[in-house]
Structures are given as C-alpha cells and as structure tokens.
C-alpha cells in the first residue's frame, strides 16, 4: 500500500514538473523573442534562465492548490469560506512567486538595465503586470483538477458498474444451472435405468461417463460468465452425446459453426439451454423424432448463432415474453453483458419448425 502511494505521488510530481517546464519554456522563449524584436540584443541566456526558473514557486505550490480545490470546491455552489480560502491562497502564492522573481532579477539583472534594479521596485512593478497571468494560472490548476477528478470518478463508476454487472450475470448463470440440472439429471438417470433394464450395459456405462464429464465441465466453468465459443461447443457436444444415447436415431444433430468463429467470446451456457428447449419441445414429444441444427455466422462484426428444430411451430398467439426460465435468463444475461448490442429472437421457421437466433458483438476472447 505504501509503495503504491509513493508511486502515485512520484507520478504526480513528474506530471507537475513536465507541465510547468513546458509552460516556463514557452514563456521564456516568448520573452527572448520579444526582446530581440524590440532591438535589444544583449545576451539572452540570463533572461531565458530567469524567466524559466521564475515559475518554480507555482510548480511547488500546485499540490497545495490541488488539495484546496478538492477541500473547498468552487463548483456546485460556492460558499464565502471557499472564496476567502482561494483568494488568500492566490494572494500568498502570487506574493511568494513574485518575490522569487524579483530576487532573481536583483541578483542577475537579466534585462541588462543600466541602473541595477532594487527588490521593492522590481517586486511592485512585476506583480502589477503579472497578477492577471497568475490569476489565469491559478484558475487553470483548479480547472484541470476538477476535470481529472471527474474523469477518475467516471472511470471508478464504470468499473463498479462492470463489476456489479459481472456479479449479476454470474447470479443469473447460477440460477439457470439450478433450474436446469435437476430436470436434466432426472431425465438422464431415467434413461440410464432404462438402458440397464434393456441389458444395454455398454450404452448405460457410456451415458454415465458422458454425464460425469458433463457435470465436471459444468462445475469447472461455473464461475465464468463468458467463455470461448469453442468451449461452449465442446460443452454442448458433451450434452448431445448424452441425449443421443437417450433418443438414439430419433435425434439428428447438425453443427455448422466455422472454425474461425470458435475464438469468439460468448456468454457461458449459451447454446446448451437453447438446444435443450429444442429437444424438449420439438423432438421429445414426436415418435419420429427430428433434427436440431446449430449454426453460426459472422457479419459486420456481429456474431449470429441459431438453433433450429423441425418440430411443431409456435402457436399463433405466442409472444416473445412468454418463455421459460432458460430463455428469459439468457435474455437478461445478454442485456447485462452487451446491452443494446445483443438480441435474442424466438420465431417460427420457414417452411416449418422453430428457430432461436442470438446476435451479439463478435469479440475475441
């Protein structure tokens, strides 16, 4: 913690030194150029150095002004106390800065005056001419302080919002798992029991192994709100292996996702609930079974994933809001992760069947 604080202070001082050095170089160069334009050709290095170093008090006073700006803000309502504090600080810093400048001119005489300058005359004259410049410098420090603080505050708010959205997405994912796993486990165990009763022991063992691997992957990825599309497809394939053992030839599956899309980042547990709905509502209730097709394309930096089944179409009075927990949960998670850039549509396909289409930004993991 101490090392971090020291690093921040060191970085702050480097920025202050860089900004005031740039301002001092500009002021010193301008002064020398004006001197030459007026036909005064005496040696310029003493004048350049004096003008450059004269801004040192303002550089040293910048952290104090920053602290005063934060403790007594001049935005969002100004109190009398705030005005008094800033006026007093401005007066003291201006007096000290001009005293330093007058001292340099008395010691060096950078303007090469025939009569050696006195401290009081130099201080009074310079302060009169410089007070407006000093006022602008003080106001600039206040302005930069408030702008930087506002940006930092906005960055903190965005970080906090992202963190909360991540936590909410994980909570939604956990809720989906709790809703999905008992139903899935019940059907799978029933299928295993049926295989054992039919003396299809090899198929039963294969299904148990598949179930074990499926649950292991689910447990390992439970803390991640997003995964690669490759991981999501591998997870889906584990699920489909179990369903193929359950339905046999009644279930036909087609995966049409190009290899170049597999590096895309997608919400965890995106495809499996959609395929489960397709099997449950489109395949399981039909004696002849049916086909489930999972496809993916990318167009204009938008990833489009679709899950189609050739089962019964949606009823005419169906509305998009009348969906189960899985679809509604996925819509919420998409909105949390991608806002208005994502979309989930459930629609009747032509010439028959039902299709779910998910659109989200294509972002590499």
Does the pLDDT value for residue 203 go beyond 90? no
Tokens in use for 180?
A: 């999905």
Judged against a pLDDT cut of 70, whether residue 318 lies above it is answered with no
- Please state whether 77 falls in left (phi above 0), alpha (psi between -120 and 50) or beta: left
Q: Pick the range with the lowest mean pLDDT from 11-25, 76-90, 115-129, 160-174.
A: 160-174
Indicate the pLDDT class of residue 248, thresholds 50, 70 and 90. Answer: confident
Q: What is the mean pLDDT of residues 102-106?
A: 90
Q: For position 182, what pLDDT does the model report?
A: 59
Tell whether the model's pLDDT for residue 260 goes beyond 90.
yes
Q: What is the pLDDT of residue 184?
A: 66
**Percent of the chain with pLDDT strictly greater than 70:** 88
Q: Higher-confidence residue: 82 or 42?
A: 82
Residue ranges with strand state E in the chain: 226-228, 251-256, 265-267, 290-299, 302-309, 343-348, 354-361
Contact 232, 326 (CB under 8 A): no
Residue pair 295/229 in contact (Cβ under 8 Å)? The answer is no
pLDDT, tens digit (0-9, with 9 covering 90-100), for 139-173: 999 999 999 999 998 988 888 877 777 776 666 66
- Residue from 321, 319, 230, 302 nearest 270 by CA: 230
3-state secondary structure of 293: strand
| Token pair recorded at residue 275 | 């395929």
Distance CA(24)–CA(46), nearest Å, equals 14
CB 45 within 8 A of CB 68: no
Q: Cα torsion for 34, 36, 42, 47, to the nearest 10°?
A: 30
Question: Residue 320's pLDDT band (boundaries 50, 70, 90)?
Answer: very low
Higher pLDDT, 113 or 221: 113
pTM, two decimals, is 0.53
Integer Cα distance of 102 and 308 in angstroms = 84
- State residue 128's pLDDT score: 85
Average pLDDT over residues 23-34: 87
251 forms beta bridges with 290
The pLDDT of residue 355: 93
Phi-psi category of 112—alpha, beta or left, where left has phi over 0 and alpha has psi -120 to 50?
Answer: left
In this structure, are strands 354-361 and 302-309 parallel, antiparallel, or unpaired? antiparallel
Q: Give the 3-state secondary structure of residue 358.
A: strand
pLDDT, average across residues 330-341: 83
Helix (H) / strand (E) element for 210: namely helix 201-220
Token pair 């702050």 is found at 12
């Amino acid at each position: 913690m101490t090392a971090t604080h020291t690093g921040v202070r060191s970085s702050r001082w480097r920025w202050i030194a860089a900004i005031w050095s740039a301002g001092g170089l500009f002021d010193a160069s301008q002064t020398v150029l004006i001197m030459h334009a007026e036909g005064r050709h005496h040696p310029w290095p003493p004048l350049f150095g004096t003008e450059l170093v004269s801004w040192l008090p303002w550089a040293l006073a910048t952290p104090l002004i920053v602290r005063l700006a934060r403790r007594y803000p001049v935005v969002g309502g100004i109190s009398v106390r705030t005005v008094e504090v800033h006026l007093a600080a401005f007066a003291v810093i201006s007096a000290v800065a001009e005293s330093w400048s007058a001292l340099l001119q008395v010691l060096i005489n950078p303007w090469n005056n025939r009569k050696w300058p006195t401290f009081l005359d130099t201080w009074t004259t310079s302060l009169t001419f410089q007070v407006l410049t000093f006022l602008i410098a003080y106001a600039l420090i206040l302005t930069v302080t408030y702008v930087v603080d506002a940006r930092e505050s906005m960055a903190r708010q965005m970080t906090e919002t992202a963190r909360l959205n991540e936590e909410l997405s994980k909570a939604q994912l956990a809720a989906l798992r709790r809703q999905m796993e008992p139903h899935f486990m019940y059907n799978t165990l029933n299928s295993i029991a049926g295989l054992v009763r039919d003396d299809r022991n090899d198929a039963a063992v294969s299904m148990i192994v598949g179930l074990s691997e499926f649950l292991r992957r689910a447990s390992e990825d439970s803390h991640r709100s997003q995964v690669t599309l490759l991981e999501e497809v591998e997870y889906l394939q584990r699920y489909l292996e179990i369903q193929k053992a359950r339905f046999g030839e009644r279930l036909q599956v087609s995966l049409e996702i190009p290899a170049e899309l597999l590096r895309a980042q997608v919400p965890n547990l995106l495809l499996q609930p959609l395929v489960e709905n397709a099997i449950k509502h489109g395949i399981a209730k039909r004696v002849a079974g049916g086909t489930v097709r999972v496809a993916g394309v990318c167009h204009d930096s938008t990833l489009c994933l679709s899950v189609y089944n050739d089962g019964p179409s949606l009823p005419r009075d169906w509305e998009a809001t009348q969906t189960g927990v899985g679809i509604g949960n996925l819509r919420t998670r998409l909105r949390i992760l991608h806002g208005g850039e994502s979309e989930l549509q459930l629609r009747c396909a032509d010439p028959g069947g039902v299709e779910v289409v998910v659109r989200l930004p294509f972002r590499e993991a």
